[in-house]
Every structure is written in structure tokens, then in C-alpha cells.
Copies of this chain bind each other. A is one copy, B any other.
Amino acid sequence: MLNQLIRHKTIRKYSDRPISEQTLNRCLTAATRASNTGNMQTYSIVVTLDNDIKHALAPAHFNQPMVEQAPAVLTFCIDFNRFDKWCDLRHAQPGFDNILSFSSAAIDAVLAAQNFAIAAESEGLGICYLGTTTYNAMDIIRILKLPKMVFPITTITAGYPAEVPTHQEDRLPLDGVCHHEIYEDYDAKEIERIYSYKESLPTNQQFVRENGKETLAQVFTDIRYTKKDAENFSKTFLEALRHQGFLK
């Protein structure tokens, strides 16, 4: 089990082999066994297999090819709509229209997503996370017809692998991301040490050259994750939070 976690590789190309309903349900059952706040299960999982709906979802994920190519696209959502409806039927006054409730349910939805991912891998499937889910949340809300008090937080594409990457992605040294007892802040020497392996990788050095940059960090800040994009998408994210009822 631990070895499976350590061997994880993201799979972006899938074979045509469909996922049986039985396999999918086993993985979804594993998803729902993840820890969650007060056992309220304030999340929903939208399982999209239909090609037309995947086609409609693709632009919201910046047309990453996995969305249309994968047999299954799973959108993990915060869901207080179901719980609120139960409260209404049971003469209870729910109070989840706020950012703290959003945040707690978002954690629960992501725990369920990761259980799904691990279960899927143990069944021989490959998965890819789409971090774009929160970028264009309003588009996903419209396409999947998510009512108020429901919010898409992350997406997994899943299918049997057609192609497995030869190498695992690099990771920072363990002691670069873990802290003993309290947070130990980094000095320049520590930063140099932590990032040196990543900077030394030929693929990353090629990445810097191809993008006409001086450093790998600049590829991240100037091309892949720019301040301007993050600020624009922060605005639409906050608007979506307001629209769905989580922010006044």
C-alpha cells in the first residue's frame, strides 16, 4: 500500500477500455470512507462518462486533452444543498452559507478525491488531477448544473493507462518540506540546497532555455503561474463563491 503511494505517477493518456460500473463503484465507495467533518458528508461526486458533457467541460479545464480522452471525469464538489434540504424537512435551521463551512467541506471533498485516486490506482487505473477546477468554477457550475450551496473543488480524470511516464516527477528533499516541532524558517543557504536537485535536472534546464528565461523560478512566475492570471482567477473565484452562497 505504502509502496503504491510512493510509486504514484500521474497518467494523462488512457486506453479505450471502459471502466466497469463495479470497479467505479468500488472506488467511489472507498472515496466515501475518507474522514469527514462531523460525518455530515457535505460533498457530492459528479461522475461524467458522456462524451458530449466531457466536450462541454473541456474548455473550463483549458482544453487539457485528458478531459475528453479519459473514460471518466469525476468532479468533486462541496455540497450543502443536500444537507440543507434535509434540514428543511426536519425543521432545522442550517447555517453553512459562509467561508468556514466552505473550507471544512472543501477539505472533506479533497480527502474523498484522494481516496478515490488511490483506490483507482490499486484497481489498475491511472488518474490525473485537474487543478483548473477552481479557476473556471462558474463554467463548471453551469455545465454540471450545480445548484446554490454546491461548488466544484477538484476534478480527477480516470482510465486504464495507454502510456505510463518513464520517470517519476522529482520531489524536494523530505527535510525541505517537513519541520521539527515548529516551523523552521529558511535562510538562503537552505533554499539553495532544497531547490538544487530540481534546478539541476536536464528537463528543467531545457525548460528554462526553451522559454528564454534565466532561472527555473522565472518559468513558474512569468509563464506558468503568473501574478496577473492568479489575480484574475481570484476575482472570478470570489464571484463564484458569492454566487453559490458562501460569501456575503
Contacts and interface: CB of A to CB of B under 8 A. Distances in A.
A35 B144 contact: no
Interface string A149-171: 01001100000000000000111
Interface string A75-108: 0010101110111011111111011110110110
A22 interface: no
Tell me whether chain A's interface is mostly helix, strand or loop, or mixed.
helix
Interface residues of A, number: 118
A191 B179 CA distance: 45
B107 A131 contact: yes
Given A94-B227, A215-B90, A174 B100 contact: no
Contact of A38 (B5, B110, B225, B233): B225
A37 interface: yes
Contacts of A122: 1-2
A39 interface: yes
B114 A53 contact: no
A118 B35 contact: no
Contact of A177 (B25, B32, B147, B183): B32
